Structure 1
Amino acid sequence: MFELAALGAALCWAVTGLVGAGPARAVGPTAFGFYRQGMVTLMLGAVTLVTGGWQSVTGHDAAWLALSGLVGVFLGDTLLFFSLVRLGPRRAGALFALNAPMAALLGRVVLGETLPPQGWAGVALCAVGVAVAVLGRPGRSGTHSFEAVRGRVWIGVTFGLLAALGQAGGSLIARPVMAAGQVDAMTASLIRVGIAVVCSSILVSLPIRQFRPQARLTLRLGAQIAASGVLAMLIGMTLLLFALSGGKVGIVSTLSALSPVLILPVLWIVTGARPSATSWAGAAMATVGMALIFLR
């Protein structure tokens, strides 16, 4: 049951990239992040108000969670959307999956957590697998808009790597607070996403064309953005928290990191074209690398 929940979380995150790709390109990555985070904040706020989870948070906890949201949600998500717009959901998702080995490396450097040879091998395999998945040929699905590369590849790759680093850093900052076991998970998510909304609102109000909304928010775009937020931040995160409540951390973490693999059959269904063998091989290598890290 717990393992299926972790797999369900990975599937949610895989589908999210496909659901959000179109709206992110339509309204712009900054506006997309602002709209999505704002919608999710309202949903989480309603849940927290009903459950009373806000009572579990101290001022000290809130400060660290806000910093975690600034780094992981605001910077991480915003940069991910920039990468998504430029590289498409498959490549951006593969790059973002590097947050797992990055978190392991940061844990080693910042928290002094040990990383045995098996862990280092996993980090290396993740890096190689993602490189193969991103730089390899897309296969028959290459003619679809989801596989179109807009602008220079290295710029999109840089955005994706920085997004993964932001996600890893945000997780690292929040880890001591959540490890104490006193803070309600939904309330913690509310604080992290809420601070991201504040920062995003400032960003979209700046007189910089690239940060401003590129299109009007129609009912259809709003529904797609809301669906993306519900899949990623409500259903996906809830499934992961449920899986962690009773499953083994290593197994749950590995299964929830299968998004780069699961996005390939979903992409196949959506586009009607089979991804290339290179894409499958790269995603498989990255997943094995994550398994080596989490199951060490």
Structure 2
Amino acid sequence: MNYEWLALLAAALWAFTSLISVTPSRQLGAFAYSRWRMGLVSIMLLSAAVFNNQWQMISIEQAGLFALSGFVGVFVGDTALFACMNRLGPRRASLLFACHAAFSAFLGVWLFNEALFGWSLLGAACLFLSVVLAVSFGRKSEQHSWETISGTVSIAVALGLTAALCQSIGTVMLKPMMSNPELAQIDPVAGSALRMTSAFAAHWLLWLSGHKMARAQAPLSRPLFLMIASNGFLAMAVGMTLMLYALRYGDLSVVALLSSTSPVLVLPLLWIVTKQAPTRSAWLSASLCLLGSALLIFA
């Protein structure tokens, strides 16, 4: 098997774990769920980084950049994503989050003088159109609780786009450092551990402040804990490891495209879980999302 296909396995894991996130996120609340998830994943990544013994490759300045990237991309971004998922469900939330590809393209134009014309601009338009279709159509025929929209749609969409934007900013912040050939020895696992630990520290401080948003809406039961732990292990420990191998040995453009297929892969998984076939608008919006990602990557 070519290494590029490991990215597809990672995307499948991310689609699967998005379904695992629904129950604990809705019961605990977005902040409490994110705090527990980030804490458990931090332990996993820190343990792996200590085992690899690659900390000496990261300077204080680089560690600070990783930490800031974690605050923006993980603390703000992931929490906004789960808050969006609680309102729109995993399918629509994953489509909104897929807009990070378009935001990254626009940030590349603004910060690095990259071009965004022709096919790239069409790809960004396809991504946004996929979100409009997902949110605007099919509401009457979708009876499962994971497909219903609760609360104000505009707030939910704003949360999803905020998650996508923060993910883009957090990634773009690291681009000059990670693309520097002289810094190729930086261990990605150690960098990811710093990002996740920074996000967990922010959540922990918010919880210590006693703010009502940080309080859990329900007690943490054993089943919820197992869901959170399995989600973190599959999404970060396994999924990100597969992604790192794919990026290291595979073709970058193919890897980027295959890893962006989560909104499409989540549809058959939802079909299995909810026993309801996705609507035509759901398939159309997922196809537009994949097409938009492909145009942005290959243009």
Structure 2 segments unaligned to the other structure (5+ residues): none
User: After superposition, where does 1:225-264 map in structure 2 within 5 Å?
Assistant: 225-264=228-267
Where do 1:88-237 residues align within 5 Å?
A: 88-137=89-138, 142-180=142-180, 181-237=184-240
Partner SS state of residue 275, structure 1: coil
Instruction: Look up the match of 1:5.
Output: 6
Contact 1:204 1:213 in 2 (8 A): no
In structure 1, what is the Cα distance between the partners aligned to 2:239 and 2:188?
A: 13
- Report the Cα distance in structure 2 between the residues aligned to 1:6 and 1:114, rounded to whole angstroms: 26
| Cα offset, 1:271, TM superposition | 0.9
Could you say if the C-alpha distance between residues 243 and 139 of structure 1 is closer, same or farther in structure 2, counting changes exceeding 3 Å? farther
Contact 1:94 1:134 in 2 (8 A): no
Deviates more, 1:172-181 or 1:34-43: 172-181
Q: Which residue of 1 aligns with 2:272?
A: 269
| Shift, 1:129, TM fit | 1.4
Give me the whole-angstrom Cα distance separating, in 1, the residues matched to 2:54 and 2:189. 7
**Does structure 1 retain, via aligned residues, the 8 Å contact 2:139–2:148?**
no
8 A contact 2:127–2:292 mirrored in 1: yes
Identity within the alignment, %? 39
Query: Unpaired segments of 5 or more residues in structure 1?
Result: none
Q: Could you say which residue in structure 2 is the equivalent of 1:61?
A: 62
Question: Contact 1:90–1:147 (CA<8 Å) still a contact in 2?
Answer: yes
1:125/1:285 contact within 8 Å kept: yes
Which digits, 9 at most, give the CA deviation of each residue in 1:252-271, with x for residues without a partner? 10110001100000100111
The alpha carbon displacement at 1:139 in A equals: 7.6
TM (norm. structure 1) is 0.96
- Equivalent-residue separation in structure 1 for 2:6 and 2:139 (angstroms): 29
Q: Aligned partners of 1:203, 1:49: CA distance in 2, in Å?
A: 27
> What is the CA distance between 1:58 and its match in structure 2?
0.8
Give per-residue Cα distances to partners, 1:73-116, cap 9 Å, x unaligned: 11100111110111110111110010111111101101212223
Say whether the 8 Å CA contact 1:95–1:134 is kept in structure 2. Answer: no
- 2: CA distance between counterparts of 1:271 and 1:206? 39
1:223-274 deviations in Å (ceiling 9; x for gaps) = 1011111122121111111111122111110110001100000100111110
Q: Does 1:85 align with 2:92?
A: no
Query: Aligned letter for 2:128?
Result: A
Give the AA of the match of 1:74: F
Deviates more, 1:226-235 or 1:88-97: 226-235
TM value normalised by structure 2: 0.95
Q: Is the 8 A contact 2:94 2:262 kept in 1?
A: yes
Give the secondary structure class of the aligned counterpart of 2:115: coil
Deviation for aligned residue 1:134:
2.5
Q: Residue 67 of structure 2 aligns to a residue in which SS? A: helix
RMSD: 1.3
Separation (CA, whole Å) in 1 of partners of 2:228 and 2:45: 16
Counterpart Cα distance in 1 of 2:107 and 2:137: 28
